[in-house]
Every structure is written in structure tokens, then in C-alpha cells.
Amino acid sequence: MADLVKAIGDFIAALLSVVGFVGRPRQRSHIREDLALLRELEAHEHITIQIARFSGLDLRTSRRSISWSSVVLATVIWAPLWTLCLKGFQVCEYRGSWG
């Protein structure tokens, strides 16, 4: 009896999946609908911005503060190297060659 009920259930499931009520064809139809909606939204950028606002996203650009310790460190490293490069180029120009 249990085998008969299982066979009937499998038959009904196969029939419904062929018709498209369950299974992959049903899932694919939802994916197609979602992709069609996304294509429509891509065509209208202002609608995308409105959706983002309605969803609660913060669309303002935020400025980060400058890390002054990084600026000082970069200057401390850059200044001697710049000086060496200037002196090196002056020596090369004085000799008249790069070697």
C-alpha cells in the first residue's frame, strides 16, 4: 500500500513539474520576471535612486578625515629622497652623461 501511495505521489509530482507548477521551470519563470524588472530599472536611473532612498540607504557622500600622522610620515620619507634625487640629477648633468 505504501509503495502505491509513493508511486501515485511521484506520478503527480512528475506531472506537475511538466506542466510547470513546481520544479525548475517554475523557478526559471521567477528568474525571468526578476531579470525583466531589472532591465526596466536599468533604463530609468532616477527610479533606482528612489528605490535606494525608500530602502533606507544613505546616498550622501561622506568625507573621511585626513590622517595627519600618515602625511607627516610621508613627508619625512619623501623630503630626503627628493633631495638626493635633485643632487643626483645635478651630478649627472654636470658630467654630461647618465653613467
At 89 the pLDDT is 62
Q: How far apart (Å, rounded) are the C-alpha atoms in residues 99 and 91? A: 10
To 10 degrees, what angle do helices 24-43 and 45-54 make?
110
**By the 8 A CB rule, do 49 and 59 touch?**
yes
At 21 the pLDDT is 63
Q: Where are the domains of the chain?
A: 1-62, 63-99
Q: How far apart (Å, rounded) are the C-alpha atoms in residues 8 and 2? A: 10
Residue pLDDT tens, the chain, 99 long: 888 888 888 888 777 777 766 666 566 777 888 888 888 877 877 777 888 888 888 877 777 788 999 999 999 998 888 888 777 666 555 555 555
Spell 70-80 as b/e; 16+ CB within 10 A means b: eeeeeeeeeee
